[in-house]
Structure 1
């Protein structure tokens, strides 16, 4: 148990847990899972302190009759430079500030050291038998090696869980440098979403771009990172740029939210106007942002 105050339903979406069958044998299932949970580290009279890992993932090998567990592992992925969000209050009034930080967990996991032992043992006729031998020692179980009849790779299972949590990820997202290599080859624009902290997704992290900018081994990648960071404003910046990294359009998330929260008649800018084709102001405004980016890029793409 990590902490006595877990919340298996997080404050923000996507919430809950998803799972899929990764492998099947005659007697066992391997079930891959992903859980979005967080912890409240403080209790009254202390002010709230939320500790929110990007995700918990792992697998369980479970007998088909649910009598025992062969394997269990749950962990926070550590393959990204940042993977945990922390938020805490400095006061109880509405004007109190919420402090936010993001960090890195090198290891946070739970793993079973061996198969579980059934609490009740039945013989071949279904009768309950003593769980101890005549000498009083617990009966020792011998487990055979599992032969899987059908299975999918862990990467495929993790991808299915990710898409279940984030349906927009049905669209393939590329890492920062790969996106520009693809754009250069296909003569297309790059749409980037640059965040101060991205947790477990594939959007660009400010910290990673800062490291890329200081990398003297590849001047092109360093320049790409510098051009993005030049336009970045906390917390999230949406960017449209050419294959060479030139930014043709960008909008900050805070400004975007301000625009979409206004009434259509109060929006003065023609750039981010509402469309009658969409009832959702956010969708209409973001579509207009993308169209404006394409329009601004035309002179460059035609040369």
Structure 2
């Protein structure tokens, strides 16, 4: 009796019948496919491009609604990073004296905060892109990569609003307008590509394990502290010769630090090329391609699983 109870029931697969073969052939003949099946990668890219207007409109709508309940409205798009910069200036610049040896520290700090906020907000929004929009994912058929990309586009739009305030700060603190400001455009394009790729990676992980969204603020805060947002990596390395040899290259190759330093180099005349890591544009492009292409493929491979379960 115990043997009978302990033995798991045997399951047998239903054999394929000629009727099944006929139905499969009929479906193939009329171009029918499995509902929710993952398209090929080229087809997926074409579908995503066809929804480009939806991506732009969705990003703009989210940006407009973000501060709709606040009395100051869209002013908070500029005030939030400025207040963060003011807090960091008080703690790091005044109390910890990280401004020593750093020319134009206020433009240096504000540029770092604005550019870091772009990456931080994009990744946080991307982590919740699928898990926080399950109603939309389950109700409508569209390439799911549209969601993390649209959230990154929303953060780019918010950064562009903030850049107006950044230009005013640069001029007030005596930083002249220069031809190098044009370099901000390719730097932002590369950073957007990097942010979108990481956001798609986190969107897939967050769709499977929503608890990751609770962990990400701690991860991003740690990343911020090692990215030279409030202090100069070049100044630190020149003042502390006792650091292990690998610390300098790792800090300078950090993708967040790379994009922050590129923007500082473009906008602040006292931030010289000698403060940049070697082959910085190749490094920035490499990070963008690695995260952008790799993140897109990683996200696409789980396309048929989003919104299920």
Shorter-chain TM-score bucket reads: under 0.3
**Higher relative contact order structure (alpha carbons within 8 Å, sequence separation ≥ 6):** 2
Q: Determine which structure has the larger strand proportion and give its number.
A: 1
TM-score of the superposed pair, with normalisation by structure 1: 0.26
TM-score of the superposed pair, with normalisation by structure 2: 0.26
Q: Determine which structure has the larger helix proportion and give its number.
A: 2
